[in-house]
Structure 1
């Protein structure tokens, strides 16, 4: 699940700020939206804030200016990757809801405690998820909730995620939710492929890279 949801790609906050707003014509996402997932509108401002939170956390973890620049150089496309995660989390939640899957606060706290113990403490866990999945500390529990939801959905579907057939069944359920939600992305960030449950790049002549 981790590999499909979180890829280590980053984009500077300045590039995100330069992204144009969406128009509301032809069934596209509404003005000011980075994406529309069903009735849920992810605004450009929300995406910018999420990206800036990751950047701030990275800056705090890597105070040396040269090392911080290396982190940025190694990771490009943070806004696109972050939007992919935000959309897929919503698609997963819809699939889980349709399957009758719920996650309790106690489950999240218990899982986090176990993960902190395995990682060597709270700070180690937060640092690890920041480095591996570009998840800022304040969103760690929401991310853990998503992981629990994914595991419980797989169990409900009877999908063994260690087998190709199980993985296919799991992602098929998410594809059904993707289509039902009719995901629309701001062209700046690409397009949503419901069949593959991922964001794809699109080439538009009127767009310039920031």
Structure 2
């Protein structure tokens, strides 16, 4: 179970990459898209909806206004982190598919049961995942499926999720998918399978935090 937890923490930490909020005139090639992955659009609306899910869960967990504002401050890069996660999810799924890796519902439930036992129950696990990783309760199983996928992919490659061989597989998948981010959110480094700050000089860095979920 400790190995599984390390796997989950590694992958979730990779998802949580903070960076300055960027503004730009948008992606002319893909209007309305936050990113295009494998020819499929992740729309700005879809991104905003995912951010809203997290903020709503945070509000429900900490109804006190002061505590809610503190929660927002701790997740100031939520919009960028969420897009990073949405893209990385697709990259991992492609790498797993290329390697012939599949994940069953039973495997996801087994991982969840183990984490719930460690955390002290289902509610405690949901709270921990929300506070630590910005994953709302309704996305928990989805996130855990990715943890299982990452673990099984690493096993198929004869390595673990911290080793270069694992990230090389994600890099290859990134190249296959030809990930294209709206410059507003930065750029996708296929070699690192990670969102990075855009190096375009005409993009202005306006703030270090995202603010409200719809204030893009």
TM-score by length of 1: 0.86
Aligned position for 2:174: 178
Contact 1:101 1:152 in 2 (8 A): yes
Alpha-carbon distance in 1 for matches of 2:86, 2:161 = 22
- State the 1:206 CA deviation: 5.0
Aligned equivalent of 1:65: 65
Q: Report the CA distance between 1:76 and its aligned residue.
A: 1.6
CA distance in 2, matches of 1:10, 1:126: 26
Which of 187, 192, 195 pairs up with 2:188?
Answer: 192
Moved over 6 A (4+): none
Consecutive unaligned residues in structure 2, runs of 5 or more: 1-10, 207-215
Q: CA deviation at 1:6?
A: 2.8
Q: CA contact under 8 A between 2:36 and 2:179: conserved in structure 1?
A: yes
- Out of 150-159 and 62-71, give the one that drifted further: 62-71
Matches within 5 A, 1:194-209: 194-202=190-198, 203-205=200-202, 207=204, 209=206
- Aligned residue pairs, count: 196
Task: Please tell me whether the aligned partners of residues 116 and 124 of structure 2 are also in contact (alpha carbons under 8 angstroms).
Answer: yes
RMSD: 2.2
What are the superposed Cα offsets for residues 121-149 of structure 1, whole Å, 9 maximum, x if unpaired?
11111111111111111111110000000
**CA-to-aligned-CA distance 1:23-78 (integer Å, 9 cap, x gap):** 11xxxxx2211001103211101000000100010111111111111222233211
1:27 corresponds in structure 2 to none
Specify which structure has the bigger relative contact order, considering alpha-carbon pairs within 8 angstroms and separated by 6 or more residues.
2
Tell me the TM-score normalized by structure 2.
0.83
CA contact (8 A) 2:24 2:203 kept: no
Question: Is there any run of 5+ residues in structure 1 with no aligned partner, and where?
Answer: 25-29
Call closer, same or farther: CA 1:88–1:206 in 2, change over 3 Å.
Answer: closer
